[in-house]
Amino acid sequence: MDIKINETLDCKGLSCPMPMMKLAKAMKGMKSEEVLEMIGTDPGTKSDLPRWCGKTGNTLLDESELAGGVFRFLIKKK
C-alpha cells in the first residue's frame, strides 16, 4: 500500500485517553484527504480508534503492530 503520510503523531508511552485526545487535536489542524500516521503503545487505542473514526467520519486506512508492542495507524481526514 503506497500512501502519502502528511503528518506523524507519536503517542508512545501515553495511556488512555491521551492518545485519542492528541489524535483529535492533530486532525483538526489537517486538511481534508490528508493522512495522519499515529504511533502508540496503548492497546486500548486498537478499539478506541476505529470507533472514533466511525463517529467523526474519518477513515482508518491501515492498522498494524510493529516490534516491541508498538501500534501504527493511518487515518485519512474526511
Catalytic site includes residue 53: no
Strands (E), 1-78: 7-11, 35-40, 59-66, 70-76
Domain positions in the chain are 7-76
Give residue-wise pLDDT tens across range 61-78: 999 999 999 999 999 999
The answer to whether the predicted template modeling score (pTM) of the entire model surpasses 0.85 is yes
Q: What is the pLDDT of residues 1-37, one digit of tens each?
A: 689 999 999 999 999 999 999 999 999 999 999 999 9
Q: What is the CATH number that goes with domain 7-76?
A: 3.30.110.40
Cell numbers standing for residue 38: 499515529
In this prediction, residue 2 carries a pLDDT of 83
Which listed residue (3, 5, 16, 24) is catalytic? 16
